Amino acid sequence: MAQRILEPGQIETLAQRSIPRVRIPDRAQLFAQRGARLRALAQGSSIGDYLSLCAILADAQHAALADFSADLPSAAQIETAQTHRMPPIPAASWPRTPQWRATLQAICIAVALQPRLPDEVARLVTHLRAAAPDELETQADILLGTRASEIDAAVAPFLMAALQVHWVALSSRFVADAVQPLDVPGLCPLCGSLPVASIVYAKTPYQGYRYLHCALCACEWHMVRVQCSQCGAVGKDIAYHSLASASAADAAAPDSAAVRAETCEQCHSYRKIFYQEKDPAVDAVADDLASLALDLLLGERGYARASGNPFLWQAAER
């Protein structure tokens, strides 16, 4: 029987068709698993108290998501978005249901009930619970519109926790096979947000594939490995760093770390990449937050984060 020889471009196309392009978040497990991971990472960590606080946020997110309802876009709206290669539930413009503010209240109450709460955190949640709806909506617009110079870094993690619930309530109801990629591969195909990090999965049907994890709606989308998720550079411009490799006596020794940073010599940025085969419990948001030492190392080497963590914001420079 004659065999057809595929050209390189055809091989790539065939491979892309066989790889699941999108992973839809598991509404029942996402925040519960993240909370458990944050608690585990808090043990012995120099930022253990903050990781524990974020675990409380994740627990409150899990409880709020159980009965959170939000209207999906219509079939016509989805078709229009796909036609123009745009996200169907865009972060900056999709209408928010007022229920997200009720979720914020529930999150603040969950934090306020904790024993030995630091005074600064207590003041923050008190302020948020008393804030007018217009103030909260304005802050949400700032966060989702990435107007960095106007972000209130202290309250941003609480607001983002509530907004994540809103968008996961939407994203978790999509069907993976129906989600179309955008023209910009580094943006979430559902809400258009930037990824916080990426994960290389160890279990089928995702084994060995790298997925970017949306910082807002938790959708994950496939991107080939050894490619910058910020500018698209490939090959020799891409390198990998970890705390283990930085301290290794032999720089050429194999790196077995579950947490690494993928750097790019073209745009001088980086995002972290987590390997499930090294640690099955990795979570993009939790493990990114818990590995700040790697961020410090990369900063010393002249690289900048391509995007931030939803639970950690830098104060705007005045």
pLDDT digits (tens, 9 = 90+) for 37-78: 999 999 999 999 999 999 999 999 999 999 999 999 999 999
State the average pLDDT for the chain.
90
* DSSP state at residue 234: B
* DSSP state at residue 309: B
Residue 17, pLDDT score: 60
Residue type for position 182:
L
Helix axes of 119-130 and 156-171: crossing angle, nearest 10 degrees: 60
Q: What is the pLDDT of residues 171-181, one digit of tens each?
A: 999 999 999 99
Contact (Cβ atoms closer than 8 angstroms) between residue 209 and residue 111: no
* Mean pLDDT along residues 4-21: 57
Residue 116, pLDDT score: 87
Rg (CA), the chain: 20
Residue 71, pLDDT score: 92
In three-state secondary structure terms, 17 is helix
**How many Cβ atoms from other residues are within 10 Å of residue 49's Cβ?**
13
Residue 57 CB contacts under 8 Å (≥ 6 apart), including other chains = 107, 110, 111, 157, 158, 161, 311
From CA 49, how far away is CA 173, in angstroms rounded? 34
What b-and-e string marks burial along 105-134, b requiring 16 or more CB atoms within 10 Å of the CB? bbbbebbeeeeeeeeebeebbeebeebeee
Question: Which domains, and CATH codes, for the chain?
Answer: 22-176 (3.90.1670.10), 178-305 (3.90.1670.10)
